[in-house]
Chains A and B, each alone.
Chain A
Amino acid sequence: SDEITQPPSVSVSPGQTVNLVCSGHELGTKYVFWYQQKPGRSPVLVIHQHNRRPSGIPERFSGSRSGNTATLTISGTQAIDEADYYCQAWDSGILVFGGGTKLTVL
């Protein structure tokens, strides 16, 4: 299966916008899912299908796709957004996770 790559770490200042990127073959043509995971906790779904947010997920989280990349954008980042973020997509019957990005809110 194709791999999905994510930068290991990204930092952002509170109130700023941050883009978390996943790269993989033809990701722009696939449904890409995004999860947030805080230490010691189960993952939480933040984006599914095209750009749909489950109830309870703030509007500052949005998703987009183009070409071989998918992006999770957090607008007006808050300290509570500090977490690991994983993207995920199907590839020929295999559900692939990216390696995750640790988001630090400085």
Chain B
Amino acid sequence: QVQLQESGPRLVRPSETLSLTCGVSGDSVNSDYYWGWIRQPPGKALEWVGSIYDNGSSYYRRTYYNPSLKSRLTMSVDTSKNQVSLKLSSVSAADTAVYYCARPKTTQREYSGRYHDAFDVWGQGTMVTVSS
């Protein structure tokens, strides 16, 4: 059974970089799945942050980022640690949110649509506050 666990600092200063990792157990980060990040400011709606695919081949890596965050966002996959990372630079109070990592329902081979399937496996989320 796949399990995801977000970790990282709970408090980040304005203008600094928010760094989170998603530890994956029960699957490989290089399997045939995308990995995603979603955030939710307190009392507000879910917001997709980005999605990454890295099957370990240098020929096929792909990322999709929320355009509103793209200039500040970097997502990566660490095969040795079996985790997915998120870095968001120049943060402000508007980046305060619960951050979730998630995996889609189906593999890319099984998925008949464009991009990737809905997120079916979610971490418990980690609350990150941006404040001085």
Contacts and interface: CB of A to CB of B under 8 A. Distances in A.
A44 B120 CA distance: 7
A73 interface: no
Contacts of A33: 117-119
Nearest to A48: B118
Interface stretch (B11-19, B21-29, B107-115): B107-115
A63 B36 CA distance: 23
A43 interface: yes
Interface of B: 36, 38, 45-48, 51, 64, 66-67, 100, 105-106, 112-115, 117-120, 122-125
28 contacts: A31-B117, A35-B46, A37-B46, A42-B125, A43-B38, A43-B119, A43-B122, A44-B122, A45-B118, A45-B119, A48-B106, A48-B117, A48-B118, A48-B120, A49-B113, A49-B117, A54-B120, A86-B45, A88-B46, A88-B48, A90-B115, A93-B64, A94-B64, A95-B36, A95-B48, A95-B66, A97-B45, A100-B45
